[in-house]
Structure 1
Amino acid sequence: MIDADHGQFYLQDFPAYDDWMATHAMDPNLPPAGWTHEAVHIHRIGVEAHSISVGTARDDLVESLINVHASAPVLEPSAEHVVEADLDVPNGELTVYSPGVDPAEGPTLTVPAVLLRARVSYVPSEPPDIVTNGGPGDHFLYRIDLWPTGQAREVAILRQGPDPWAG
């Protein structure tokens, strides 16, 4: 379970993300990134250098599952929405946290120190057996599958869920 504060949580190579933001965040020549209109309404994920923000249907504790694979896994058949994006993790350490949590307090996962492809699947689920904040919104398992990729690719929607989706 992760606290999806403000309806999101992050997967970041935090030192690389922090360094990149310190030198590039205000560069007017870079294309928009993060929570763009398309990211909010279509992708459901925000993509930045060394970071993916996963939008959630609840501002609450949410179920998440992160798997690292040697190659692309099969598509989760019960997923309502599936999107893929690149995630560069040069330090080989992925931090998972949300806006209300200090990154140092979030769990970390050792991953290959390469460009990874991340598949985020929104799998409908039942409410968890633990006590949560009781926020409104649908329950999903946010399944993130990661594997090394040899080339950079654009964000790709493999299965488009309904719009509006959080409710």
Structure 2
Amino acid sequence: MKKETIIILASSRSNGDTSKVVNQLQQVVDCDVVDLNDYEISYYDYGHANKDDDFLPLMKRIISDYQNIIFATPVYWYTMSGILKVFFDRISDLLTIEKDLGRQLRGKGFGALSCCMNGSVDEEFWHPFKKTAGYLGMNYIGNIHVDSLENIDVLKDFGNKITTL
């Protein structure tokens, strides 16, 4: 059976706290996970010299196979992880050299999950996620911050939002 949702795990540690939270979310939502550490994705390049790395094949698969995309990131220096920022920057390829592919994002669900075991995030943290979803014509499902592995019941409400789309 085809799953509706994919989580893009964007942490420097594949087995860190963010991964543990993603595993807990999988208990609520039947979804697949992609770990960006398993891919070679270069920084955005205006000349598109990196168009043969793993970004475009990964996006083609994600766009064709899933209706909802959830981005999971730890909080590094008050913002998303560097690996996720590179991924977001590469979405520019879907607005230039792969416009037809980029247009297929319209109407898909977009959500965000952050993890930081020693604090919270300000509302401004979600700004790049909300703006990116809006710019791409995606439906912003919402966001959630998890600050404790003992208090992950908050994932149930977020998971229910995803499954009721």
TM over 0.5: no
Query: Normalized against structure 2, the TM-score is what?
Result: 0.28
After TM superposition, the score normalised by the length of structure 1 is: 0.28
> Which structure's relative contact order is higher, taking Cα pairs within 8 Å and 6+ residues apart?
1
